[in-house]
Amino acid sequence: ADDALVIFTPSGKRGRVPKGTAVLAAARKLGVDLDSVCGGRGICSKCQVAPAYGRFAKHGVTVAEDALSPVNAVERRYDEKRGLKPGRRLGCQATIEGDAVIDVPPESQVHRQVVRKSADARPIVMDPATRALMVEVAEPDMHEPTGDLERLNRALAAQWGVRPASAPLPVLAGLQPALRKGKWQVTVALHQETEDAAPRILDIWPGFYEGGLYGLAIDLGSTTIAAHLTDLVTGTVKHSAGIMNPQIRFGEDLMSRVSYSMMHEGGAGEMTAAVRAALNDLAREIAAEAGVEPRAIVEAVFVCNPVMHHLLLGIDPVELGQAPFALATSDALRLGAAELGLDAINPAARAYLLPCIAGHVGADAAAVALAEAPDKSDDLVLIVDVGTNAEILLGNRARVLACSSPTGPAFEGAQISSGQRAAPGAIERVEIDPATKEPRFKVIGCDLWSDDPGFGAEVEKTGITGICGSGIIEAVAEMRMAGLVDPSGLIGSAEQTGSPRCEADGRTHAYRIHDGTEAGGPRITVTQGDIRAIQLAKSALYAGARLLMDRMEVDRVDRIVLAGAFGAHISPKHAMVLGMIPDAPLDRVRSAGNAAGTGARIALCNRAARGAIEKTVKAIHKVETAVEPRFQEHFVAANALPHATAPFPELAQ
Ligand code: FES
């Protein structure tokens, strides 16, 4: 016969193709996900496959040694220059000459799956909006007067099946030199939001562009801004960094920033300028530390609460300061990053802002919903994402409720006497021996505990600079368990507790965790004021969760997800000792890291997820804590550790 059977693994897709068909072409025909950037020119090696030989009982086929064509000159040249792994072939060069079984390794799949850290989280499927494509463009011809862009578009259509793409001005300016320098071969960064959307060329390089394409997933919080530089091909996070939000100087929390805008002419503009400058600094820092050219960063995805959202966009947030809390728009936004003043990355880069849910429930809550998918859960799940505002979601397949609760910045280490952002040098874990009342701790950037041998030398790299959110949460919970703090939150004296570390501090007491030394940084204590700040924050969090439970008419949830940008993953036990979350079996409480940041990463890596969350968000019911009378009631009752009235039976066990 003139055709042959080809079976692709792991997809199991099979079909007959004429002998002499390239593996890449066969994959396209059978709908197998096999990557290519250079369009089959033997340059990019993205099309690598691993043919298998011998008898395959499972598939009912025997593959002969000559099932694929012998290595040709192009493949040999690639192998000599770059080296191919043993057993690998270039799918665009090898042709099918007999029945074949061909494995597509994960790195050759466009829609590869990126496994997430927590075991029960669904993997991220790569389907970025921006891809690199190499094309060969026809040279201009006196007899057929067409522009270079039109011929580039014709080539994209013929070689990649792409619809005519637009090119913004900076790209257009570089088009002619790139085409000529590349001898009519160029690589374009092509951005397409959905299959039906009009594509857009974001950049163009002569010949084959070797560098990667990257995106920034940005969690723009009131206190902290965190950004993850993500490879748009592999989905891996190349580098993460965070900084304090410089808007803090205009007000610690959201409402004080809204009032700053109300009281000061041009105040909103000042805050917009501050956050945009910080985003540029952060982007530059991340690119430099990762060794990535700023030009290679072609997308940015933002998640943020409504006030941050408006200030980033340059919209005065004054309407968010008063009922009915109207947003300028709650829809997702697709913009040029340059429109947001983001000039430290590619000038044609695109920006995507997740949709807001409503009023005070922002794009950060939408991102949490995207990362944790309560709308796909069979059991009733409570998700809390803790920041200066806590995003709280409660629901299952049938119904999802959301609210935002003003916890204040204590969980991020702000308004804490020795507090700091989660960064190297911050104490992130604390244990207190209930018998001796002596503490031991762990610092970000150092693998040893403070009582491990060699800790002193090891910690010199970072020093001990303060205590971050997870550290203060654990410290207060451990102090409660060790009897250093009573249920009302009062720190006992040295006589009362039997610990000389409980020192007088004005009219109250403070517990000393670390005696500052020259190398070891400042003295770190937990003061009565710190405990009060944590009590206020956790009461607001608990009250928000309770409010959603009231609305859902339940008094228990099946499971709890605890997320936030506080440093270490919060241990469920500590969260429950403080009464941050309602009572639940400890093995049904999971700590999920920064869920909003993860949601941003998903939206960056998978364009379909953007459309999906836009739809989901429309079905989420929001509950406005600011106008709910029961919020205050829940808040007051939740001030005690763990709670004045609510039972915590799981804790007793
Ligand atoms: Fe680029 Fe095969 S498609 S090397």
The closest-lying atom of ligand 1 relative to the alpha carbon of residue 35 is 3
Is the separation of the CB atoms in 270 and 321 below 8 Å? no
In terms of CATH architecture, what is 3-108? Roll (3.10)
Task: Show the tokens assigned to 17.
Answer: 């193709």
- Indicate if ligand 1 lies below 6 Å from the C-beta of 49: no
pLDDT in tens, 558-586: 999 998 866 667 888 899 899 999 988 88
H/E stretch holding 202: strand 200-206
The residue whose CB lies within 8 Å of the most ligand 1 atoms, and thus the one to mutate among 74, 84, 92, 208, is 92
Distance from first CA to last CA of the chain, Å, rounded?
Answer: 73
Q: Report how far residue 653's alpha carbon sits from residue 651's, in angstroms, rounded to the nearest whole number.
A: 5
Q: What is the predicted pLDDT for the residue at 120?
A: 58
Mark the ranges of the chain whose per-residue pLDDT is less than 50.
Answer: none
Q: Where in the chain is the domain with CATH 3.10.20.30?
A: 3-108
Answer whether 132 contacts ligand 1 (Cβ < 6 A). no
Closest ligand 1 atom to residue 44 Cα is 1
ipTM value: 0.99
Q: What are phi and psi of 4, to 5 degrees?
A: -135, 155
Nearest atom within ligand 1 for CA of residue 48:
2
β-strands 502-505, 381-386 pairing: unpaired
Using alpha carbons, list the distances in angstroms from residue 535 to 461, 464, 540. Answer: 33, 25, 9
Which helix (H) or strand (E) segment is 304 a member of? Answer: strand 297-304
Ligand 1, closest atom to CA 45?
4
Helix orientation angle between 607-619 and 595-605, rounded to the nearest 10 degrees = 130
CA 93–ligand 1 middle distance (angstroms): 8
HEC string of 122-166?
CCEECECCEEEEEEECCCCECCECCCHHHHHHHHHHHHHCCCCCE
Distance 74 CA to ligand 1 centre (A): 10
CB of 155 shorter than 6 A to ligand 1? no
Q: Which residues pair with 526 in a beta bridge?
A: 511
**For the chain, what percentages of helix, strand and coil (3-state, to nearest 5) are there?**
35, 25, 40
> How far, in Å, from the CA of 78 to the mean position of ligand 1?
10
Q: Which residues contact 457 (CB under 8 A, 6 or more apart)?
A: none
CA 50: distance to chain centroid? 33
Of residues 489, 561, 601, 558, the one with CA closest to residue 218: 601
Is residue 352 within 8 Å of residue 603, measured between CB atoms?
yes
39 CA distance to ligand 1 middle (Å) = 6
Contact 545, 589 (CB under 8 A): no
Pocket test for ligand 1, best of 34, 36, 131, 134 (most atoms within 8 A of CB): 36
Cα dihedral 589, 626, 389, 482, rounded to 10, equals -50
pTM of the model: 0.86
Q: How far is CA 490 from CA 300, 318, 493, 577, in A?
A: 46, 38, 10, 15
Q: Which of 23, 35, 46 to mutate to test the pocket of ligand 1 (most atoms within 8 A of CB)?
A: 46
Residue 395 contacts residue 230 (beta carbons within 8 Å): no
Q: For position 564, what pLDDT does the model report?
A: 80
Return the amino acid letter for 178.
Answer: A
The enclosing H or E element of 365 equals: helix 363-372
Q: Write the DSSP symbol of residue 622.
A: E
Three-class SS of residue 341? coil
Pocket test for ligand 1, best of 34, 47, 110 (most atoms within 8 A of CB): 47
Q: Is 522 in the pocket of ligand 1 (CB under 6 A)?
A: no
Please report the pLDDT score of residue 140 as a whole number: 92
In tens, the pLDDT along 417-473 reads: 999 888 889 999 999 999 999 999 999 999 999 999 999 889 888 889 999 988 999
The position carrying tokens 């050219």 is 293
Give the per-residue pLDDT at 65.
92
List the beta bridge partners of residue 207.
Answer: none
Helices first, then strands: H and E counts in the chain: 17, 32
The CB-side HSE value for 572 (13 A sphere, CA atoms) comes to 17
Query: How far, in Å, from the CA of 162 to the mean position of ligand 1?
Result: 18
What Rg, from alpha-carbon coordinates, does the chain have?
A: 28
Tell which atom from ligand 1 comes closest to the C-alpha of 90. 2
Measure Cα distances from 603 to 232, 327, 404 in Å.
Answer: 11, 22, 21
CA 41 to ligand 1 center in whole angstroms: 6
Question: In this structure, what DSSP letter does residue 584 have?
Answer: -
Distance CA 45, CA 68 (A): 17
How many residues are listed for the chain in this entry? Answer: 653
State in Å: Cα 44 to ligand 1 middle.
5
> Is the beta carbon of 90 within 6 A of some atom in ligand 1?
yes
Find the Cα–Cα–Cα–Cα dihedral 99, 90, 230, 232, rounded to 10°: -80
**Residues forming CATH 3.10.20.880 domain(s) in the chain:** 129-206
**Structure tokens, 368:** 């949490």
pLDDT at 646: 75
**The domain 129-206 is classified under which CATH number: 3.30.70.1450, 3.90.550.10, 3.10.20.880, 3.40.50.720?**
3.10.20.880
Question: What pLDDT does 71 receive?
Answer: 95
Please give the pLDDT value at position 519: 57
Which 3 state secondary structure label does DSSP give 170?
helix
Question: Is the Cβ atom of 43 under 6 angstroms away from ligand 1?
Answer: yes
Ligand 1 centroid distance, CA of 173 (Å):
29
Distance between Cα 34 and ligand 1 center (Å): 10
DSSP 568-583: SPPPHHHHHHHTSS--
Cβ of 92 less than 6 Å from ligand 1: yes
